[in-house]
Amino acid sequence: MSDFIWVEKYRPQKIEDCILPDSIKKTFRDFLTAGEIPNLLLSGPPGIGKTTVAKALCKELGADYYVINGSDEGRFLDTVRNNAKNFASTVSLASEASHKVIIIDEADNTTSDVQLSLERLLRSSPQTVDSSSLATIRTRLLLPYIHAAVLLTFLLTKRINQR
Ligand SMILES: Nc1ncnc2c1ncn2[C@@H]1O[C@H](COP(=O)(O)OP(=O)(O)O)[C@@H](O)[C@H]1O
Ligand SMILES: [Mg+2]
């Protein structure tokens, strides 16, 4: 539990504060400039910044976001269906956010019926609802789910001093 608090406390809040390859950082900056985040699938090894980036994009855009954890409640179809549907259909009175984003963390641990249900929800929701899925292992995700999203793979680049 205390690890969790430290990770949250020191999680960068802005894309500028994330350490990322230039090309990926530019892509995120372009989303912010455009004021829109497309459906995104962020994949890469654990601890490389997927959750951080998803939250930072939402915060910087002033979007309302709802996180479903694929290793936890995200494995249960009814829970996901009810919670995601409620989130997508309610109007937030507290904020004037123009976007609603459903973040599916550890998406590779959700079941295929959960993935299909979320895909249907996104297709039938008002255009202001986007999804951002974060996966370590992409192959556990259904193909239609991957095709519906802009795929960004975070690679660990290792600098080798050849001299
Ligand atoms: N690219 C990054 N830039 C800056 N800090 C990072 C980055 N990636 C990870 N971190 C640090 O590591 C912690 C865990 O990262 P997280 O985004 O949860 O990883 P992932 O979701 O890819 O497993 C964050 O709170 C942050 O402090
Ligand atoms: Mg994560």
| Cα–Cα dist 25/77, whole Å | 34
* Pocket probe mutation, ligand 1, options 3, 5, 8, 11, max atoms within 8 Å of Cβ: 11
Q: How far is the CA of 88 from the centre of ligand 1 (A)?
A: 27
pLDDT of residue 85: 83
Residues 19, 47 contacting (CB under 8 angstroms): no
pLDDT of residue 7: 78
| Cα–Cα dist 137/125, whole Å | 27
Residue 160, pLDDT > 70, answer no
The CA-based dihedral angle spanning residues 112, 125, 29, 68, taken in that order and rounded to the nearest 10 degrees: -40
**Residue 108, CB half-sphere, CA atoms under 13 Å: how many?**
13
For CA atoms 37, 42, 48, 50, the dihedral sign is positive
Instruction: Give per-residue burial for 7-17: e unless 16+ CB within 10 Å, then b.
Output: eeeeeeeebee
Q: How far is the CA of 25 from the centre of ligand 2 (A)?
A: 18
* Closest atom, ligand 1, to C-alpha of 7: 25
Structure tokens at 73: 């409640």
Q: Which of 34-38, 107-111, 159-163 has the lowest mean pLDDT?
A: 159-163
**Mean pLDDT, rounded, for 12-18:** 94
Residue identifier of the C-alpha nearest atom 26 of ligand 1: 11
Q: Which of 20-24, 91-95, 136-140 has the lowest mean pLDDT?
A: 91-95
Ligand 1 pocket check for 70: Cβ under 6 Å: no
Tell me which DSSP letter residue 67 carries: E
Residue identifier of the C-alpha nearest atom 6 of ligand 1: 49
Tens-digit pLDDT profile for residues 23-70: 889 999 999 999 888 888 888 888 888 999 999 999 998 888 889 898
| Band of residue 123 on the pLDDT scale cut at 50, 70, 90 | confident
Tell me which DSSP letter residue 118 carries: H
Residues 122, 103 contacting (CB under 8 angstroms): no
What is the side-by-side order of every strand in the sheet holding 40-43? 64-69, 100-105, 129-135, 40-43, 150-153
Check: pTM over 0.75? Answer yes or no: yes
